[in-house]
Amino acid sequence: MHSVSSILKEDSLLPYLRVEGKSCLSGHVNISGAKNSALVLMAASLLCKETLVLNNIPKLTDIDVMTNILKSLGANIKRNKNKLQINASGLNGNQKELPYELVHALRASLVCIGPLLTRFEEVKIPLPGGCRIGARPIDEHINGLQALGVNVRIKDENIIAKITNPLRKLIGTKINFKCKSVGATETILMAATLAHGTTIIENAAEEPEIQDLANMLNKMGANIKGAGSSQINIEGVNRLHGCIHRVIPDRIEAGTFLIASAITRSPLTLSPVIPHHLESVISKLEEAGCLIEQSNEQVKIIPPQTINSVDITTMPYPGFPTDLQAPYMALMATARGTSKIKETIFEKRMQHVGELQRMGSKIQLQGNTAFVSGVKSLKATSLTGGDLRSSAAMVLASLSAQGISIVEGLSHLDRGYENFEDKLSSLGVNISRSMIKSPNRMKKNTKILEQPNIVSSDAEVA
Ligand code: EPZ
């Protein structure tokens, strides 16, 4: 057992945020380009030998990793602020392999396999494996590629995909996904654009990021109909060309800031946003008592002093997004009454419960369902985000807590939120980033505490 001082000695310096609680926000926050769109649009550059220009690319570590992956494949990439120019004409040879350390750093790199198979007869990608929020299986990706005429096998922790049919091309077909998978839909959608014949995807994921991808692919010369619905039709074409495309605003970042407004009980204006992409979140926040005004590219939220507890169940789009479940739970921890929060997409996406309990929240976890009874005030403390969205939830909870909190786990936060603390600071929050020996290593434990049955009416009202 290490002594505390020896742990501190061993610690490297860690970045952390110092957050002053009982914050009030005011003004307007600029929403960045969508991470989960930008990543797949970057992968789509592999589908052609001309330059793809992407505007509104957010400055995130995930984008840096995808940039390095494309460079490792031989693509030429130039970045100027939020603009990326990618030219993948330089890829050569008849087979391609993605580097393990980069794939391991970014699961989303799996979607490169589809575009690469339109250029190379054999592609080798390390198995991305699971992550902190779940096993993240890839059977839908593999089944879809096999349906397109690709021989896919797993050998020594690698996916080896080989086109063996006499045409030496992907062959269009009908694919019916067992479950709605964003990544698998994107993989097959991109591969099918240059397949021989027609591909129909049934039970496709309907997320806005898939629509954004299809819109760009059609600008590149693809022939796609139905993206954003559960059935997508793709007529294979011979070639795609470059284009200029602007990434859609990040609906998850926008939802995070809507919740930041609600948890601090202070009004906020956000733009640019596409209100339609936020419908499920907006309707839950309105049920919780918030007044929300929408115009074409802007949303204004005016929260009440007392937030009502409102149940959610995470679902594929257009349902309530799993990526906002953790931030939303932080809000419900300060609401009046008890809410039921059910996570149906990922099996291990409740790591924030233990940290919220350490702040004094009353949460009872039964499998992937949390019963949250609001408390008058959360207690500031030292917190660690276990994944991207739970890190954001820790910051939001700290905005509301009494006192000054320390939030670690910024390597997760920086994957998905561009200039997060700068944006909060410009809204009036006293927040700063420092480097120090990890203060949280002093923390005893973050396991989720078994709590007596709290689903009762006598919980303190917030
Ligand atoms: C995308 O991940 C997003 N990531 C995730 O955002 C998001 O949470 C998720 O979609 C759901 O909306 C990117 O776009 C880069 P899935 P993805 O395939 O594509 C099961 C964030 O915080 N499944 O839609 O990996 C899977 O287990 C990240 O920004 C299979 O069973 O998610 C899960 O239960 C986290 N077989 C469900 O589908 C498969 O082959 C949804 O996963 C693939 C998925």
Query: Are both 256 and 366 inside the same structural domain?
Result: yes
Average pLDDT, the chain: 92
- Helix/strand/coil for 123: strand
Same domain, 343 and 238: no
Ligand 1, atom 1: closest residue by C-alpha: 182
Give 182 Cα–ligand 1 centroid separation in angstroms. 6
Q: Going by CA atoms, what residue is nearest to atom 27 of ligand 1?
A: 136
CA of 393 to the centre of ligand 1 (A): 19
* Spatial distance between the Cα atoms of 205 and 108, rounded to a whole number of angstroms: 15
CA-CA distance, 180 to 244, in Å (whole number)? 29
Query: Would 445 be classed as within a structural domain?
Result: no
Last-in-domain residue among 212, 246, 280: 246
Task: Assess if residue 461 is contained within a domain.
Answer: no
Ligand 1 centroid – CA 353 distance (Å): 21
Cα angle at 391 between 298 and 383, to 5 degrees?
A: 135
In a domain, 447, yes or no: no
Task: Single out the residue in 220, 246, 272 at which a domain terminates.
Answer: 246
CB distance 322 to 338 below 8 Å: no
Same domain, 223 and 322: no
Does residue 230 sit in the same domain as residue 262? no
**Closest residue CA from atom 10 of ligand 1:** 182
In a domain, 444, yes or no: no
Q: Is 454 within a domain?
A: no
Q: Give a yes or no: residue 215 inside a domain.
A: yes
Euclidean distance between CA atoms 396 and 401, whole angstroms: 9
pLDDT of residue 450: 61
Cα of 62 to ligand 1 centre, how many Å?
Answer: 15
Contact 348, 134 (CB under 8 A): yes
Q: Name the CA dihedral angle for 17, 19, 25, 29, rounded to a multiple of 10 degrees.
A: 0
**Which pLDDT value is given to residue 179?**
96
Pocket test of ligand 1: the residue of 40, 60, 182, 389 to mutate, having most ligand atoms within 8 Å of its CB, is: 182
Q: Just list the catalytic residues.
A: 131
pLDDT given for residue 318 in this prediction: 98
194 and 120 both lie in a single domain: yes
Phi, psi at residue 353, to the nearest 5°?
A: -60, -45
Q: Do 166 and 260 sit in the same domain of this protein?
A: no
Tell whether 352 and 427 lie within a shared domain: yes
Atom 41 (ligand 1) nearest CA: 181
Ligand 1 mutation target, pool 63, 181, 323, most atoms within 8 A of CB: 181
Place of tokens 């204004």: 300
Nearest ligand 1 atom to the CA of 207 is 12
- According to the model, what pLDDT value does residue 451 have? 58
pLDDT at 445: 47
Whole-number Å distance between alpha carbons of 185 and 134: 19
DSSP code string of 399-460: HHSBSEEEEE-HHHHHHH-TTHHHHHHHTT--EEEEEEE-GGGG----PPPP-----STTSP
Distance 25 CA to ligand 1 centre (A): 32
Atom of ligand 1 nearest to the CA of 388: 22
**C-beta separation of 408 from 22 below 8 A:** no
Which residue's CA lies nearest to atom 30 of ligand 1?
Answer: 137
Q: Which two tokens stand for residue 316?
A: 């594929």
436: left (phi over 0), alpha (psi -120 to 50) or beta: beta
Residues 6+ apart with CB under 8 A from 68: 102
Q: Are residues 137 and 159 in the same domain?
A: yes
The encoded tokens of residue 191 equal 């591969």
CATH number of the domain encompassing residue 28: 3.65.10.10
384, 446 in Cβ contact below 8 A? yes
First to last CA, the chain: 41
Clarify whether residues 201 and 339 are in a common domain.
no
260 CA distance to ligand 1 centroid (A)? 24
Mutating to test ligand 1, I would choose from 60, 61, 179, 325 the residue with most ligand atoms within 8 A of its C-beta, which is: 179
The pLDDT assigned to 348 comes to 93
CA-CA-CA-CA torsion sign (276, 277, 281, 285): negative
Same domain, 64 and 100: yes
Ligand 1 binding pocket (C-beta < 6 A) is 36, 39, 108, 134, 136-141, 179, 181-184, 205, 322-323, 345-346, 388-389, 416
Q: Closest ligand 1 atom to the C-alpha of 252? A: 29
**Ligand 1 center–CA 128 separation, angstroms:** 12
Local structure of residue 11 (DSSP, 8 states): P
Task: Give the total number of structural domains in the chain.
Answer: 2
Residue whose token pair is 């946003």? 273
| Maximum CA extent, the chain | 71
**Which residues in the chain land under pLDDT 70?**
1-12, 438-462
106 assigned to some structural domain? yes
Q: Are residues 40 and 17 in the same domain?
A: no
How far does the centroid of ligand 1 lie from the alpha carbon of residue 277, in Å?
17
**Torsion-angle region of residue 24: left (phi > 0), alpha (psi -120 to 50) or beta?**
beta
pLDDT at 356: 98
Round to whole Å and give the CA distance between 424 and 402.
Answer: 18
Residue that is last in its domain, among 181, 213, 246: 246
Atom of ligand 1 nearest to the CA of 209: 14
| pLDDT attached to residue 2 | 44
**Burial zone of 301 (CB within 10 Å; 0-12 exposed, 13-18 middle, 19+ buried):** buried
Which amino acid type is present at position 378? L
Domain with 41, as residue range(s), is 35-246
- C-alpha span between 29 and 258 (Å, rounded): 10
Residues 329 and 308 in one domain: yes
Q: Which amino acid residue places its CA nearest to atom 8 of ligand 1?
A: 323
Would 222 be classed as within a structural domain?
A: yes
Residue of 32, 35, 36 with the most ligand 1 atoms within 8 Å of its CB, for mutation = 36
Contact 420, 35 (CB under 8 A): no
Give the per-residue pLDDT at 390. Answer: 96
Protein residue with its CA nearest to atom 4 in ligand 1: 36
By residue count, the chain amounts to 462
Task: Determine the atom of ligand 1 nearest the C-alpha atom of 387.
Answer: 22
